[in-house]
């Protein structure tokens, strides 16, 4: 933005200077130098790229000239994400990037990252996102970092295999240790076995005990039983909502029955949370 502003400033100065003047030549050289830097940094295509990224993340044309302070926290996170993607990085480090993204924006981000040629490091709890994009999983647990060569589904299966193998090796090791200790106790005071006893004692001292990490404790959460609902749980007829003069939705009609499972989807700003609050009577129509 600073380079672009400088270019415009030099362009304005040049229009009021005579091409024959020394000041024009000096100003033009500065303009040419800044222009080369701007072009080298893809400045002339940056605006196009910025529009593409912002639209991909769900922004509309009318949002482009708004101040960042006007947006909610979720949209501010998208602005930060857009600035990262537009910085031409060699390495992208993202912490929970799928938070605050609707389905369309998430699909666009997945496509961008799939086409990205650099290194990607992601902290995420979205297993489907990791399955699509990641080729390695690094698990940080028990003060160690363990690498798995594959996506998240591979990691889950491989972790179980490694744990089972480690448990088997630990069991075999304990059996070997017990057998060795029995030999030592049996022949400890027998002169003819002294060399063998000492050898086995030294062997035990050098053994690195295989430790099995304890499984993390599971949270004990108990939900009270809810009374059985009516067959018809929710019935909506011609529901409409607007804030001041801005309509959110209108003419909604639907019925939900007991045991039905419905996913409410839509782009950010479509009114999903508003509809949820209206159904639960946390907001007035």
Residue matched to tokens 């050898």: 199
Q: What 3-state DSSP class applies to 2? A: helix
Indicate the residue among 89, 116, 134 that finishes a domain.
134
pLDDT at 6 over 80: no
- Using one digit for the tens of pLDDT, what is the confidence trace for 169-203? 999 999 999 999 999 999 988 888 889 999 999 99
Indicate the residue among 134, 152, 187 that finishes a domain.
134
User: Which pLDDT belongs to residue 161?
Assistant: 96
Q: Which letter does DSSP use for residue 147 in this model?
A: E
Which pLDDT band, with edges at 50, 70 and 90, does 132 fall under? Answer: very high
Which pLDDT band, with edges at 50, 70 and 90, does 151 fall under? Answer: very high
Residue 16 within any structural domain of the chain: yes
For helices 2-15 and 22-40, give the axis angle rounded to 10 degrees.
Answer: 150
User: Which one, of 82, 78, 127, 126, lies nearest residue 100 by Cα?
Assistant: 78
Q: How many CA atoms lie within 13 A of 148 on its CB side?
A: 20
Two structure tokens written together for 243: 């804030």
- How far apart are the C-alpha atoms of 266 and 271, rounded to whole Å? 8
- In terms of domains, do 238 and 168 share one? no
What is the domain extent for residue 7? 2-41
pLDDT at 44 over 60: no
User: Which pLDDT belongs to residue 209?
Assistant: 92
- In terms of domains, do 245 and 273 share one? yes
Q: What 3-state DSSP class applies to 242? A: strand
User: Which pLDDT belongs to residue 150?
Assistant: 96
User: Which pLDDT belongs to residue 199?
Assistant: 93
Angstrom distances, CA of residue 10 to CA of 27, 68, 274: 7, 28, 50
- How far apart are the C-alpha atoms of 164 and 161, rounded to whole Å? 5
User: Which pLDDT belongs to residue 253?
Assistant: 94
pTM score, whole prediction? 0.67
Q: What 3-state DSSP class applies to 93? A: strand
- What is the phi-psi region of residue 242: left when phi exceeds 0, alpha when psi lies from -120 to 50, beta otherwise? beta
Which pLDDT band, with edges at 50, 70 and 90, does 126 fall under? Answer: very high
Two structure tokens written together for 196: 């063998």
**63 vs 39: which has the higher pLDDT:** 63
- In terms of domains, do 10 and 74 share one? no
- Using one digit for the tens of pLDDT, what is the confidence trace for 82-124? 999 988 889 999 999 998 888 889 999 999 999 999 999 999 9
pLDDT at 39 over 80: no
Residue 213 within any structural domain of the chain: no
Residue 98 within any structural domain of the chain: yes
Which pLDDT band, with edges at 50, 70 and 90, does 3 fall under? Answer: low
User: Which pLDDT belongs to residue 88?
Assistant: 81
- In terms of domains, do 240 and 194 share one? no
pLDDT at 1 over 60: no
User: Which pLDDT belongs to residue 40?
Assistant: 63
- In terms of domains, do 122 and 62 share one? yes
- In terms of domains, do 32 and 59 share one? no
Contact yes or no for 126/109 (Cβ under 8 A) = no
Residue matched to tokens 């698990």: 139
Q: What 3-state DSSP class applies to 226? A: coil
User: How many structural domains compose the chain?
Assistant: 4
pLDDT at 8 over 80: no
Q: What 3-state DSSP class applies to 246? A: strand
């Amino acid at each position: 933005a600073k380079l672009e502003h400088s270019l415009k400033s030099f362009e304005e100065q040049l229009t009021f200077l005579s091409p024959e003047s020394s000041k024009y030549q000096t100003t033009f050289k500065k303009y040419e130098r800044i222009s080369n830097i701007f072009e080298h940094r893809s400045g002339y295509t940056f605006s196009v790229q910025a529009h593409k990224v912002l639209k991909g993340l769900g922004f509309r044309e009318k949002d482009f000239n708004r101040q960042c302070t006007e947006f909610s926290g979720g949209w501010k996170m998208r602005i930060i994400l857009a600035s990262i993607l537009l910085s031409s990085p060699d390495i992208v480090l993202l912490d929970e990037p799928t938070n605050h993204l609707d389905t369309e924006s998430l699909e666009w981000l997945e496509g961008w990252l799939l086409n990205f040629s650099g290194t990607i490091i992601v902290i995420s709890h979205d297993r489907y996102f990791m399955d699509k994009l990641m080729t390695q999983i690094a698990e940080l647990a028990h003060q160690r970092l363990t690498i798995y060569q594959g996506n998240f589904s591979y990691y889950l299966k491989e972790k179980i295999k490694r744990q089972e193998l480690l448990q088997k090796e630990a069991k075999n090791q304990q059996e070997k240790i017990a057998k060795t200790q029995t030999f030592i106790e049996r022949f400890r005071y027998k002169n003819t076995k002294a060399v063998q006893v000492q050898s086995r004692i030294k062997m035990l001292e050098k053994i690195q005990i295989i430790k099995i990490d304890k499984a993390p404790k599971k949270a004990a959460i108990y939900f009270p039983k809810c009374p059985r609902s009516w067959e018809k749980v929710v019935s909506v007829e011609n529901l409409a909502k607007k804030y001041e003069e801005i309509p959110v939705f209108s003419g909604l009609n639907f019925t939900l029955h007991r045991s039905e499972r419905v996913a409410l989807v839509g782009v950010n700003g479509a009114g999903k949370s508003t509809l949820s609050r209206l159904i639960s009577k946390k907001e007035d129509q």
